[in-house]
Protein backbone atom coordinates (compact mmCIF):
# COMPACT_ATOMS: atom_id res chain seq x y z
CA UNK A 1 0.00 0.00 0.00
CA UNK A 2 1.16 3.52 -0.77
CA UNK A 3 0.04 6.21 1.68
CA UNK A 4 -1.72 9.31 0.33
CA UNK A 5 1.25 11.47 1.27
CA UNK A 6 3.70 9.21 -0.52
CA UNK A 7 1.37 9.04 -3.46
CA UNK A 8 1.39 12.82 -3.74
CA UNK A 9 5.17 12.83 -3.50
CA UNK A 10 5.43 10.13 -6.13
CA UNK A 11 3.15 11.89 -8.57
CA UNK A 12 5.14 15.08 -7.98
CA UNK A 13 8.26 13.13 -8.81
CA UNK A 14 6.58 11.73 -11.89
CA UNK A 15 5.76 15.12 -13.34
CA UNK A 16 9.27 16.39 -12.61
CA UNK A 17 10.67 13.34 -14.43
CA UNK A 18 8.36 13.96 -17.34
CA UNK A 19 9.38 17.60 -17.59
CA UNK A 20 13.05 16.87 -17.33
CA UNK A 21 13.29 13.99 -19.79
CA UNK A 22 10.05 13.79 -21.73
CA UNK A 23 8.28 10.48 -21.72
CA UNK A 24 10.73 8.79 -24.09
CA UNK A 25 14.40 7.97 -24.28
CA UNK A 26 16.31 7.63 -27.55
CA UNK A 27 17.24 4.04 -28.34
CA UNK A 28 18.37 4.01 -31.97
CA UNK A 29 18.90 6.66 -34.60
CA UNK A 30 19.18 5.69 -38.26
CA UNK A 31 20.28 8.28 -40.79
CA UNK A 32 22.74 8.95 -43.62
CA UNK A 33 25.62 8.04 -41.31
CA UNK A 34 24.56 4.47 -40.53
CA UNK A 35 21.29 3.42 -42.20
CA UNK A 36 22.65 0.58 -44.33
CA UNK A 37 24.59 -0.83 -41.36
CA UNK A 38 21.32 -1.36 -39.51
CA UNK A 39 18.76 -2.21 -42.21
CA UNK A 40 19.12 -5.44 -44.18
CA UNK A 41 18.17 -6.01 -47.81
CA UNK A 42 15.50 -8.68 -48.06
CA UNK A 43 16.00 -10.43 -51.39
CA UNK A 44 13.73 -13.47 -51.26
CA UNK A 45 10.51 -13.88 -53.24
CA UNK A 46 7.96 -11.20 -52.29
CA UNK A 47 5.68 -12.64 -49.56
CA UNK A 48 2.85 -10.57 -51.09
CA UNK A 49 3.35 -12.19 -54.51
CA UNK A 50 4.35 -8.99 -56.28
CA UNK A 51 5.79 -8.57 -59.77
CA UNK A 52 9.06 -7.55 -58.20
CA UNK A 53 12.61 -8.72 -57.84
CA UNK A 54 14.02 -7.58 -54.53
CA UNK A 55 17.77 -7.21 -54.94
CA UNK A 56 20.61 -7.62 -52.43
CA UNK A 57 22.82 -4.84 -51.11
CA UNK A 58 25.61 -5.27 -53.67
CA UNK A 59 23.19 -5.27 -56.62
CA UNK A 60 21.26 -2.30 -55.22
CA UNK A 61 24.50 -0.41 -54.90
CA UNK A 62 25.92 -1.26 -58.33
CA UNK A 63 22.63 -0.49 -60.11
CA UNK A 64 21.91 2.69 -58.14
CA UNK A 65 18.70 1.37 -56.58
CA UNK A 66 19.73 2.30 -53.05
CA UNK A 67 22.29 4.58 -51.48
CA UNK A 68 22.96 7.72 -49.52
CA UNK A 69 21.78 10.85 -51.37
CA UNK A 70 20.87 14.45 -50.48
CA UNK A 71 21.96 13.84 -46.86
CA UNK A 72 19.35 11.07 -46.66
CA UNK A 73 18.67 7.53 -47.76
CA UNK A 74 17.46 6.85 -51.32
CA UNK A 75 15.48 3.64 -51.93
CA UNK A 76 14.30 3.36 -55.51
CA UNK A 77 13.25 0.93 -58.21
CA UNK A 78 14.47 0.05 -61.70
CA UNK A 79 12.94 2.64 -64.05
CA UNK A 80 14.95 1.66 -67.14
CA UNK A 81 14.47 -2.03 -67.94
CA UNK A 82 11.61 -2.91 -70.28
CA UNK A 83 9.72 -6.14 -69.58
CA UNK A 84 11.98 -7.59 -66.87
CA UNK A 85 11.01 -11.27 -66.78
CA UNK A 86 11.48 -11.85 -63.05
CA UNK A 87 9.61 -8.68 -62.05
CA UNK A 88 10.74 -5.08 -61.71
CA UNK A 89 13.86 -4.69 -59.55
CA UNK A 90 13.28 -2.92 -56.23
CA UNK A 91 14.43 -2.98 -52.61
CA UNK A 92 12.92 -4.01 -49.30
CA UNK A 93 14.84 -2.88 -46.23
CA UNK A 94 14.27 -4.26 -42.72
CA UNK A 95 15.85 -3.26 -39.43
CA UNK A 96 18.18 -5.84 -37.93
CA UNK A 97 16.78 -4.90 -34.50
CA UNK A 98 13.20 -5.49 -33.44
CA UNK A 99 11.07 -3.43 -31.08
CA UNK A 100 8.11 -3.86 -28.72
CA UNK A 101 6.25 -0.67 -27.79
CA UNK A 102 7.92 2.73 -27.91
CA UNK A 103 7.91 5.64 -30.30
CA UNK A 104 9.15 5.45 -33.88
CA UNK A 105 9.69 8.76 -35.65
CA UNK A 106 10.50 8.98 -39.36
CA UNK A 107 11.40 12.18 -41.19
CA UNK A 108 10.74 11.50 -44.85
CA UNK A 109 11.45 13.92 -47.73
CA UNK A 110 9.92 11.91 -50.58
CA UNK A 111 7.63 8.91 -50.97
CA UNK A 112 7.23 6.77 -54.08
CA UNK A 113 4.90 8.85 -56.25
CA UNK A 114 1.64 7.08 -57.03
CA UNK A 115 1.86 5.12 -60.29
CA UNK A 116 -0.26 2.36 -61.75
CA UNK A 117 1.00 -0.93 -60.36
CA UNK A 118 3.15 0.51 -57.56
CA UNK A 119 2.60 -0.52 -53.94
CA UNK A 120 4.95 1.27 -51.52
CA UNK A 121 4.87 0.83 -47.75
CA UNK A 122 6.50 1.97 -44.50
CA UNK A 123 5.44 -0.52 -41.86
CA UNK A 124 6.38 -2.75 -38.93
CA UNK A 125 5.72 -6.43 -38.30
CA UNK A 126 6.66 -9.26 -35.96
CA UNK A 127 8.20 -12.68 -36.62
CA UNK A 128 5.06 -14.83 -36.51
CA UNK A 129 2.50 -13.32 -38.88
CA UNK A 130 -0.27 -12.49 -38.03
CA UNK A 131 0.15 -13.49 -34.34
CA UNK A 132 2.81 -10.88 -33.56
CA UNK A 133 0.98 -8.16 -35.47
CA UNK A 134 1.61 -5.69 -38.26
CA UNK A 135 1.28 -1.90 -38.27
CA UNK A 136 1.03 -0.21 -41.67
CA UNK A 137 1.91 3.47 -41.35
CA UNK A 138 2.30 4.61 -44.95
CA UNK A 139 0.77 2.36 -47.56
CA UNK A 140 -1.16 2.63 -50.78
CA UNK A 141 -1.52 1.24 -54.28
CA UNK A 142 -1.88 2.49 -57.83
CA UNK A 143 -3.12 6.13 -57.89
CA UNK A 144 -4.18 6.30 -54.22
CA UNK A 145 -4.07 9.87 -52.87
CA UNK A 146 -3.84 9.39 -49.08
CA UNK A 147 -2.29 6.79 -46.81
CA UNK A 148 -4.06 3.70 -45.48
CA UNK A 149 -3.23 3.10 -41.82
CA UNK A 150 -3.97 -0.51 -41.00
CA UNK A 151 -3.33 -3.08 -38.26
CA UNK A 152 -3.20 -6.82 -38.88
CA UNK A 153 -3.41 -9.41 -36.09
CA UNK A 154 -4.71 -12.87 -35.34
CA UNK A 155 -8.52 -12.89 -34.91
CA UNK A 156 -9.87 -11.54 -31.59
CA UNK A 157 -8.36 -8.06 -31.51
CA UNK A 158 -10.77 -5.19 -31.99
CA UNK A 159 -10.67 -1.63 -30.71
CA UNK A 160 -13.71 0.31 -29.52
CA UNK A 161 -11.94 3.63 -30.07
CA UNK A 162 -10.71 2.98 -33.56
CA UNK A 163 -10.59 6.12 -35.74
CA UNK A 164 -12.14 4.29 -38.63
CA UNK A 165 -14.16 1.23 -37.67
CA UNK A 166 -14.45 -1.31 -34.89
CA UNK A 167 -13.59 -4.17 -37.17
CA UNK A 168 -11.56 -7.10 -35.86
CA UNK A 169 -7.91 -6.51 -36.84
CA UNK A 170 -7.79 -10.27 -37.52
CA UNK A 171 -10.51 -10.00 -40.16
CA UNK A 172 -11.61 -11.84 -42.19
CA UNK A 173 -10.53 -14.76 -39.97
CA UNK A 174 -6.88 -14.71 -41.06
CA UNK A 175 -5.74 -11.11 -40.59
CA UNK A 176 -5.27 -10.40 -44.30
CA UNK A 177 -7.74 -7.51 -44.36
CA UNK A 178 -7.04 -6.15 -40.89
CA UNK A 179 -8.57 -2.98 -39.44
CA UNK A 180 -8.03 0.61 -40.52
CA UNK A 181 -8.76 2.92 -43.42
CA UNK A 182 -7.38 5.68 -45.59
CA UNK A 183 -6.96 8.97 -43.73
CA UNK A 184 -8.45 11.35 -46.31
CA UNK A 185 -5.44 13.68 -45.91
CA UNK A 186 -3.79 14.10 -49.30
CA UNK A 187 -0.71 15.74 -47.75
CA UNK A 188 0.24 12.53 -45.98
CA UNK A 189 0.82 10.42 -49.09
CA UNK A 190 2.30 10.38 -52.56
CA UNK A 191 2.04 13.48 -54.72
CA UNK A 192 0.58 15.74 -52.00
CA UNK A 193 3.30 14.69 -49.59
CA UNK A 194 6.10 15.22 -52.11
CA UNK A 195 4.82 18.68 -53.12
CA UNK A 196 5.37 20.02 -49.60
CA UNK A 197 8.77 18.37 -49.12
CA UNK A 198 7.26 15.57 -47.05
CA UNK A 199 7.08 15.58 -43.30
CA UNK A 200 7.37 13.57 -40.13
CA UNK A 201 5.47 10.45 -39.18
CA UNK A 202 5.35 9.11 -35.62
CA UNK A 203 4.09 5.77 -34.38
CA UNK A 204 3.29 5.74 -30.66
CA UNK A 205 2.85 2.18 -29.43
CA UNK A 206 1.95 1.63 -25.77
CA UNK A 207 0.18 -1.17 -23.89
CA UNK A 208 -3.05 0.83 -24.19
CA UNK A 209 -3.04 2.41 -27.63
CA UNK A 210 -1.48 2.46 -31.07
CA UNK A 211 -1.43 5.93 -32.61
CA UNK A 212 0.00 7.33 -35.81
CA UNK A 213 0.73 11.06 -36.10
CA UNK A 214 1.62 12.98 -39.24
CA UNK A 215 3.20 16.43 -39.37
CA UNK A 216 3.58 18.09 -42.79
CA UNK A 217 6.90 19.85 -43.43
CA UNK A 218 5.07 23.13 -43.93
CA UNK A 219 5.34 24.53 -40.45
CA UNK A 220 3.80 22.21 -37.90
CA UNK A 221 6.50 19.75 -36.88
CA UNK A 222 6.52 19.87 -33.06
CA UNK A 223 9.57 21.52 -31.54
CA UNK A 224 10.04 18.63 -29.13
CA UNK A 225 10.58 16.35 -32.14
CA UNK A 226 13.10 18.74 -33.70
CA UNK A 227 14.84 18.95 -30.31
CA UNK A 228 15.08 15.15 -30.06
CA UNK A 229 12.92 15.08 -26.93
CA UNK A 230 9.52 14.00 -28.26
CA UNK A 231 6.44 14.25 -26.07
CA UNK A 232 3.28 13.00 -27.81
CA UNK A 233 1.08 14.53 -25.09
CA UNK A 234 1.83 17.92 -26.73
CA UNK A 235 0.95 16.88 -30.26
CA UNK A 236 -2.80 17.16 -30.58
CA UNK A 237 -4.93 14.70 -32.50
CA UNK A 238 -3.27 11.74 -34.23
CA UNK A 239 -4.02 10.78 -37.84
CA UNK A 240 -5.13 7.40 -36.55
CA UNK A 241 -5.70 5.95 -33.10
CA UNK A 242 -6.59 2.46 -31.94
CA UNK A 243 -7.52 1.88 -28.28
CA UNK A 244 -10.17 0.39 -25.99
CA UNK A 245 -12.15 -2.71 -26.81
CA UNK A 246 -11.10 -6.34 -26.69
CA UNK A 247 -7.61 -6.04 -28.07
CA UNK A 248 -4.75 -6.96 -25.76
CA UNK A 249 -2.02 -4.96 -27.48
CA UNK A 250 0.82 -6.64 -25.59
CA UNK A 251 -0.42 -10.09 -26.61
CA UNK A 252 -1.00 -9.18 -30.27
CA UNK A 253 1.94 -6.90 -31.14
CA UNK A 254 5.55 -7.79 -30.37
CA UNK A 255 9.12 -7.80 -31.68
CA UNK A 256 8.48 -5.64 -34.73
CA UNK A 257 11.06 -4.92 -37.39
CA UNK A 258 10.71 -1.64 -39.29
CA UNK A 259 10.39 -1.94 -43.07
CA UNK A 260 10.49 0.29 -46.15
CA UNK A 261 9.68 -1.30 -49.49
CA UNK A 262 8.12 -0.83 -52.89
CA UNK A 263 6.53 -3.78 -54.60
CA UNK A 264 4.36 -4.01 -57.72
CA UNK A 265 1.01 -5.66 -58.42
CA UNK A 266 0.60 -8.78 -56.22
CA UNK A 267 -1.99 -9.22 -53.48
CA UNK A 268 -3.14 -5.60 -53.39
CA UNK A 269 -2.15 -3.39 -56.36
CA UNK A 270 -2.66 -6.33 -58.71
CA UNK A 271 -5.78 -7.61 -57.03
CA UNK A 272 -7.62 -4.28 -57.42
CA UNK A 273 -6.24 -3.48 -60.90
CA UNK A 274 -9.53 -4.11 -62.68
CA UNK A 275 -11.36 -1.83 -60.21
CA UNK A 276 -9.13 1.15 -61.05
CA UNK A 277 -10.64 2.78 -64.14
CA UNK A 278 -7.55 4.83 -65.00
CA UNK A 279 -4.97 2.05 -64.59
CA UNK A 280 -7.01 -0.75 -66.11
CA UNK A 281 -7.61 1.39 -69.22
CA UNK A 282 -3.83 1.42 -69.81
CA UNK A 283 -3.27 -2.35 -69.82
CA UNK A 284 -5.32 -5.45 -69.16
CA UNK A 285 -3.09 -6.66 -66.34
CA UNK A 286 -0.97 -4.94 -63.72
CA UNK A 287 2.12 -7.02 -64.62
CA UNK A 288 1.84 -6.09 -68.28
CA UNK A 289 1.72 -2.38 -67.43
CA UNK A 290 4.55 -2.46 -64.89
CA UNK A 291 6.74 -4.47 -67.26
CA UNK A 292 6.18 -2.25 -70.29
CA UNK A 293 6.43 1.20 -68.68
CA UNK A 294 9.69 1.60 -66.76
CA UNK A 295 9.75 5.39 -67.19
CA UNK A 296 6.56 5.66 -65.17
CA UNK A 297 8.54 4.65 -62.07
CA UNK A 298 11.26 7.29 -62.05
CA UNK A 299 9.59 9.02 -59.07
CA UNK A 300 8.87 5.75 -57.33
CA UNK A 301 11.48 6.26 -54.62
CA UNK A 302 11.80 6.89 -50.91
CA UNK A 303 14.07 9.64 -49.62
CA UNK A 304 14.37 9.28 -45.86
CA UNK A 305 16.08 11.83 -43.62
CA UNK A 306 16.03 9.69 -40.49
CA UNK A 307 14.25 7.05 -38.47
CA UNK A 308 14.55 7.33 -34.68
CA UNK A 309 13.33 4.80 -32.16
CA UNK A 310 12.58 5.87 -28.60
CA UNK A 311 11.84 3.58 -25.66
CA UNK A 312 9.24 4.25 -22.99
CA UNK A 313 11.04 6.04 -20.17
CA UNK A 314 12.51 3.48 -17.72
CA UNK A 315 12.06 5.49 -14.52
CA UNK A 316 8.44 6.24 -15.31
CA UNK A 317 7.74 2.60 -16.09
CA UNK A 318 9.30 1.56 -12.76
CA UNK A 319 7.01 3.86 -10.80
CA UNK A 320 3.94 2.73 -12.74
CA UNK A 321 4.89 -0.85 -11.90
CA UNK A 322 5.02 -0.10 -8.16
CA UNK A 323 1.55 1.44 -8.32
CA UNK A 324 0.17 -1.63 -10.02
CA UNK A 325 1.84 -4.08 -7.60
Identify the active-site residue in 82, 134, 167, 223. Answer: 134
263 closest CA partner among 46, 31, 43, 14: 46
**Using rule CB under 6 A, residue 192 touches ligand NAG:** no
Identify the active-site residue in 139, 195, 226, 288. Answer: 139
Q: Which of 163, 182, 252, 257 binds ligand NAG (CB under 6 A)?
A: 182
**Taking a C-beta distance cutoff of 8 angstroms, is the pair 147, 140 a contact?**
yes
Q: Which of 12, 47, 184, 236 binds ligand NAG (CB under 6 A)?
A: 184
Question: Which CB, 98 or 186, lies closer to ligand NAG?
Answer: 186
Stretch that binds ligand NAG, among 61-69, 89-97, 164-172, 256-264 (CB under 6 A): 61-69
Q: Which of 146, 163, 241, 252 binds ligand NAG (CB under 6 A)?
A: 146
- The footprint of ligand NAG on this chain (CB under 6 A) covers a number of residues equal to 10
**Using rule CB under 6 A, residue 187 touches ligand NAG:** no
Stretch that binds ligand NAG, among 105-113, 178-186, 257-265, 310-318 (CB under 6 A): 178-186
SS3 sequence, the chain? CCCHHHHHHHHHHHHHHHHHHCCEEEEEEEECCCHHHHEEECCCCCCCCCCEEECCHHHHHHCCCEEEECCEEEECCCCCCCCCCCCEEECEEEECCCECCEEEEEEEEECCCCCCCEEEEEEEECCCCCCCCEEEEEECCCCCCCCEEEEECCCCCCCCEECCCCCCCCCCCCCCCCEEEECCCHHHCHHHHHHCCCEEEEEEECCCEEEEEEEECCCCCCHHHHCCCCCHHHCCCCCEEEECCCCCHHHHCCCEEEEEEEEECHHHHHCCHHHCHHHHCCCCCHHHHHHHCHHHHCCCCEEEEEEEEEEECHHHHHHHHHHHC
Q: Which of residues 65-124 bind ligand NAG (CB under 6 A)?
A: 67-68
Q: Which of 25, 145, 206, 305 binds ligand NAG (CB under 6 A)?
A: 145
x-or-dash string of contact with ligand NAG, 194-233, rule CB under 6 A: ----------------------------------------
Stretch that binds ligand NAG, among 59-67, 201-209, 230-238, 253-261 (CB under 6 A): 59-67
CB 262 to ligand NAG: min, Å? 16
Question: Which CB, 67 or 222, lies closer to ligand NAG?
Answer: 67
195 is catalytic: no
134 is catalytic: yes
* Catalytic positions: 134, 139
Binding residues (CB under 6 A) for ligand NAG: these are: 61, 64, 67-68, 144-146, 182, 184, 186
Amino acid sequence: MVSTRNLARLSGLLSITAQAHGAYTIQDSYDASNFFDNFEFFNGPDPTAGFVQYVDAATANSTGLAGYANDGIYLGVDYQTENPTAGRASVRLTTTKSYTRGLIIADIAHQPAPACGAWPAFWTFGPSWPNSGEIDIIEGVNLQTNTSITLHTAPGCSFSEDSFSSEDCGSPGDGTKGCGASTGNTQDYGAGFNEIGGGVYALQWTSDAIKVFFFPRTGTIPEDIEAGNPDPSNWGAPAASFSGGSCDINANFMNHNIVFDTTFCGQWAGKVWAEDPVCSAKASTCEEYVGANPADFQDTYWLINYVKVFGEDGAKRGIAKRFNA
